[in-house]
Amino acid sequence: MTKFRTRLLIALITLIITVLVGLGILLGHLLNNKFLESLKDHLNIEFLLILFISLGIALSVIIYLGIRITSRYTKQIEAATDVAIELAKGNYRARTTADWLDETGMLGRSINRLAENLQELIKVKEMQQDRLSVLIENMGAGLVLIDSRGYINLINKGFIDIFHVKPTDFLYKLYYEVIDYEEICQIIAEVFRTEQKVSKQLLVPFFIERRYFIVYGVPIIGANNVWKGVLLVFHDITELKKLEQMRKDFVANVSHELKTPVTSIKGFTETLMDGAMNDKETLDAFLSIILKESDRLQSLIQDLLELSKIEQQGFKLTIQEVDLRSVLEEVITIVSGKSQQKNILLELYCKKEQVIIKGDIDRLKQVFINLIGNAITYTPTDGNVKIILLEHNEKVRIHVKDSGVGIEKEEIPRIFERFYRVDRARDRNSGGTGLGLAIVKHLVEAHHGNISVRSKLGEGSDFIIELNKDLT
Ligand code: ADP
């Protein structure tokens, strides 16, 4: 800064001297021509020449310094203006390079600081904006924002996924022109009318599916009570509803299954107590029915306990090396009494001496007792049940194939449900609980395997289990 000031001072002094000399000459000329004449005599023409040359030099210095000073300032202003224009356009990375360390660079430095602050502010704003849009898009619920005139301003990914719509069909359109569901439009209208929160449970049919939602309609009221519109939030509760229904069905089924044998036991006991026990034959017949019904109750309770144990979180298999062939042979021995009663031919086909896999021996036995037991139960007398054990690379496959009554194609996906029976009356008489296949499916899946069924009504069924040898 001192350098700049000195230059300015020199320029001024030169200017003053020049002006004074010029004025002196002019005055002398005007006031006393004689004085000039005498000066001419004394100083001759060279003096005047020197005077004019020095005057010229002084003028050049002034012009030069003037140009330098002004150019220095104009450069600063130009650079600062360019940056300001860039900032106004939204380019917050623009910076001026004309930022000398002296006072002339102050404008440049200030504008650079301003740009830095703006850039920082915009960064923070963009971060907040990003966070907000990520939150809105991935909040797991459908969201619609409607402005105060009824135009849809925003829909999120959740809403698009739920209703399978294109954003362009909805955005900036009147809500009642694009939302097909009368009940949803009613909720929006209610929020507009009452300016109060509204929440309702809706059942929305989508093609062949029906989905349950809780819809929240919230009025958006800005500062000074300015009405800004309505926010709609859709929570899909279909799975919850299904679980609730399953729980209700389960309780109803268990009660029903328990009620039948208990009623029967109670009825026969009362009849006996009313005097029937005096007749030996009736007594024997009724007691054997009571025994059968209590067996059913016992196995039902056992299966229920078993299923709840398997379904519990933290249920673990006791994994060890298991020879599947010997497991199947053991199960065949256990159920052979039942097959002999019906004269059913029960055979095991396996080419290998041993088929070793990793699994829980007791649970695998349980799976095959249920499957082979069913095969015998649902096969009429003189039929046959084949158990085929195959080994292929890292997998094993077990077929439990019977020549029994078979299952209709539509029934197959349902037989693994708890308490599901194809023919309720017939299958209850079979002594089953309706829980056997549900247990089988859980245990096979716990072994990371899968179970499938091929069946033809009247021809027989083939239950196929595939397991990995290494339980991976
Ligand atoms: P249940 O204890 O009644 O046998 P499951 O869960 O084991 O119950 O089986 C469910 C239903 O699947 C049975 O009631 C029966 O209708 C059908 N089912 C199971 N296995 C066979 C089979 N091998 N052949 C024909 N139907 C079968």
Assigned domain for 314 exists? no
| Whether 202 contacts 113, CB under 8 Å | no
What is the Å distance from ligand 1's center to 260 Cα? Answer: 19
- Any atom of ligand 1 within 6 Å of the Cβ of 402: yes
374 lines ligand 1 (CB under 6 A): yes
Cα–Cα distance measured from residue 440 to residue 331, given in angstroms and rounded to the nearest whole number: 15
Decide whether any atom of ligand 1 lies within 6 Å of the 379 Cβ.
no
Distance 412 CA to ligand 1 centre (A): 10
Ligand 1 geometric centre to CA of 263 (Å): 24
453 CB within 6 A, ligand 1:
no
Would residue 292 count as lying in a domain? Answer: yes
The set of residues, in sequence order, having a beta carbon less than 8 Å from that of 333 and lying 6+ positions away, is none
229 touches ligand 1 (CB under 6 Å): no
The answer to whether residue 361 sits within a structural domain is: yes
Q: Using CA of residue 246, residue 251, residue 252, residue 258, what is the dihedral sign?
A: positive
User: Is 411 in the same domain as 355?
Assistant: yes
Residue 102 and residue 31 share a domain: yes
Q: How far apart are CA 461 and CA 412, in angstroms?
A: 10
Cα 106 to Cα 73, 80, 292, distances in angstroms: 11, 10, 103
Q: Which atom of ligand 1 is nearest to the CA of 404?
A: 24
Handedness of CA 162, 163, 165, 167 (dihedral sign): negative
Low-confidence ranges of the chain (pLDDT < 70): 1-9, 27-44, 98-104, 207, 424-431, 472
Same domain, 369 and 438: yes
Q: Within this chain, do residues 299 and 325 fall inside the same structural domain, yes or no? A: no
Short-list 271, 296, 295, CA closest to 285: 271
* pTM of this structure: 0.61
Asked if residue 24 is part of any domain, the answer here is yes
Give me ligand 1 centre to Cα 358, in Å. Answer: 28
Q: Measure 431 CA to ligand 1 centroid, in angstroms.
A: 11
For the CA atoms of 355, 359, 361, 365, the dihedral, rounded to the nearest 10 degrees, stands at: -80
Distances (CA, A) of 136 to 145, 165, 199, 220: 11, 17, 20, 16
Pocket of ligand 1 contains residue 451 by CB under 6 Å: no
For residue 303, report the distance from its CA to the centre of ligand 1, in Å.
Answer: 14
Q: Kindly give the pairing relationship between strand 152-155 and strand 345-350.
A: unpaired
C-alpha to C-alpha distance for 219 and 147, rounded to whole angstroms: 10
Nearest atom in ligand 1 to the alpha carbon of residue 379 is 24
Say if residue 354 is in the same domain as residue 289: no
- Among 80, 96, 124, the domain-final residue is 124
Residue 132: inside a domain: no
Q: Are residues 280 and 342 in the same domain?
A: no
pLDDT of residue 213: 93
Residues 300 and 216 in one domain: no
The conformation of residue 232, written as its DSSP 8-state character, comes to: E
Question: Tokens 């020449």 belong to which residue?
Answer: 49
Best residue among 301, 379, 387, 421 to mutate for probing ligand 1's pocket (most ligand atoms within 8 Å of CB) is 421
Q: Are residues 230 and 353 in the same domain?
A: no
Q: Is 303 in the pocket of ligand 1 (CB under 6 A)?
A: no
Residue among 134, 79, 86 at smallest CA distance from 110: 79
Q: Within 10 A of 329 (CB to CB), how many other CB atoms are there? A: 13
Of all atoms in ligand 1, which is nearest to the CA of residue 432?
2
Q: How far is the CA of 466 from the centre of ligand 1 (A)?
A: 20
| pLDDT tens, position by position, 280-295 | 998 999 999 999 999 9
Indicate if ligand 1 lies below 6 Å from the C-beta of 432: yes
For residue 375, which of 465, 445, 256 has the smallest C-alpha distance? 465
CB–CB of 55/81 below 8 Å?
A: no
Ligand 1 in reach of 461 Cβ (< 6 A): yes
Does residue 383 have its Cβ closer than 6 Å to ligand 1? Answer: no
The CATH number of the domain holding residue 207 is 3.30.450.20
> What CATH number did the domain enclosing 424 receive?
3.30.565.10
Q: Is 434 in the pocket of ligand 1 (CB under 6 A)?
A: yes
Same domain, 416 and 276: no
The DSSP bridge partners found for residue 155 are 144
Tell me the CA–centroid distance for residue 434 and ligand 1, in Å: 7
Residues 175 and 276 in one domain: no
The rounded distance, in Å, linking the Cα atoms of 49 and 175 is 93
- DSSP single-letter state for residue 174: B
For the chain, the domain total comes to 4
Torsion of CA 15, 17, 21, 23, to 10 degrees: 60
245 assigned to some structural domain: no
Give residue 222's domain range.
Answer: 138-236
Out of 89, 124, 159, a domain closes at 124
Q: Where is the domain boundary, 309, 334, 351? A: 309
Query: What is the residue-wise DSSP string for 390-404?
Result: EEETTEEEEEEEE-S
Task: Give the largest CA-CA distance in the chain.
Answer: 177
Q: How far is 169 from 178, CA to CA, in rounded Å?
A: 7
CB of residue 217 inside a 6 A radius of ligand 1: no
Are both 417 and 459 inside the same structural domain?
A: yes
CA distances from 441 to 311, 332, 399, 448 (A): 11, 20, 15, 11
